[in-house]
Amino acid sequence: MAVTTAAVVGIGSGLASAGMSFSQAAQQKRASSKAIADQKKLQASARERAEKNFYQGLNVPLDAYGEQFRQNIAGQQQAIQALQEGDQRNLQGGIGALTAAGAAANEQTRIGLGEALYENRKMKADAQNTINQDLKAMDMGQAADQAAMARDADQARVAAISSGISGIGTAANSLASIAPLYGKSGGMKRAERLYDGMVAEGLDIDQISKAAGGELSAAVIKNALRKQDFSGKQTRGFLKDKFEGFDYSIFNNLYTPPK
């Protein structure tokens, strides 16, 4: 009885351990999926912020350069007007000098505008390159993080599944330890069927008593039949053939005279 109780306890604890382990494996899988989903959301939010090029909206103040060109032209016109009001002998030479000076001023303004436009484009390009590098680093980091999380989750899930299989093994071993007891119970049931069949067929119990050396009780006869561990097929065969050819020597010397 103690062995059976211990085996039953072993089966229960083994199955409980297996259930808890498989439940932990499922929890690990759900936790991993949630962690990856949350990480993807954070990554998407960070990526959206990182993609913004705050320099993209900054442009060269073209109005200022346009105003500079207008002032250059206005200055030339004023100088020409002044020359026209003065000595006509100096008009041609003065206009030539003014034209050259105006062209030089406009050229300086044009050069300055070109440099400003170049610096503006370069600033935006550098900023975009920095963004691209940051996004590349984010993608690589995300891939590494997801790989690490997947690896850790898989390891935890495999460990939990292994523990669950171990629990099932414990239960199986405990079940195996009590299997003979249940086998004997089945053998006793078949022995009782055989005994009842013998009685129902009106067999000469004297054959049993002769082999045993005395009259046996029903319990002793059943126990002797049980010890033969007849299979279900054999039991059905004996009953069907009305015990023809049954070997009664199994009861030899079982009788114990009363003291």
**Residue 76 or 176, more confident:** 76
Pick 165 or 231 by higher pLDDT: 231
Q: Among candidates 239, 249, 148, which has minimal Cα distance to 200? A: 239
What distance in Å separates the CA atoms of residue 50 and residue 70, rounded to the nearest whole number?
41
pLDDT tens for residues 176-224? 555 444 444 578 889 898 888 888 876 667 788 888 888 888 888 889 8
The pTM of this model reads 0.31
Q: Look at 80 and 90; give whichever has higher pLDDT.
A: 80
Going by pLDDT thresholds of 50, 70 and 90, the confidence category of residue 91 is low
pLDDT score for 179? 47
| Angle subtended by helix axes 91-200 and 62-85, to nearest 10 | 170
CA-based radius of gyration for the chain: 53
pLDDT digits (tens, 9 = 90+) for 122-132: 877 787 778 87
Residue 87: pLDDT band (50, 70, 90) is: low
Q: What is the mean pLDDT of residues 64-81?
A: 76
> Residue 161's Cα: distance from chain center in Å?
12
Q: State whether residue 247 is helix, strand or coil.
A: coil
Q: How confident is the model at residue 11 (pLDDT cuts 50, 70, 90)?
A: low
Instruction: Specify the pLDDT at position 196.
Output: 87
In percent, the amount of the chain with pLDDT more than 70 equals 75
The mean pLDDT value for 53-82 works out to: 76
pLDDT band, residue 173 (cuts 50/70/90): low
Across the chain, what does the average pLDDT equal? 75
Q: Which of 18-22, 212-216, 232-236 has the lowest mean pLDDT?
A: 18-22
pLDDT score, position 182: 47
Is the model's pLDDT at 83 over the cut of 80? Answer: no
pLDDT value of residue 6: 54
How far, in Å, CA of 90 to CA of 202, rounded? 161
Identify the pLDDT of residue 246. 84
Counted residue by residue, the chain has a size of 259
Quick one: which of 146, 140, 148 has its CA closest to 40?
146
The stretch 239-256 carries a mean pLDDT of: 85
Burial tier of 226 (Cβ tally within 10 Å: 0-12, 13-18, 19+): buried
For residue 232, give the nearest of 181, 178, 179, 186 by alpha carbon.
186
Q: What is the mean pLDDT of residues 19-46?
A: 79
CB 200 within 8 A of CB 223: no
Rounded to 5 degrees, φ, ψ at 86 are -100, -150
Instruction: Please state the domain extents for the chain.
Output: 2-177, 201-251
Indicate the pLDDT class of residue 174, thresholds 50, 70 and 90. Answer: low
Please report which residue ranges of the chain form alpha helices under DSSP H. 2-50, 62-85, 91-200, 206-212, 218-227, 232-240
Q: What is the mean pLDDT of residues 1-9?
A: 52
Measured distance CA(19)–CA(72) in Å, rounded: 89
pLDDT of 120 reads: 79
Cβ atoms within 10 A of the Cβ of 254, count? 17
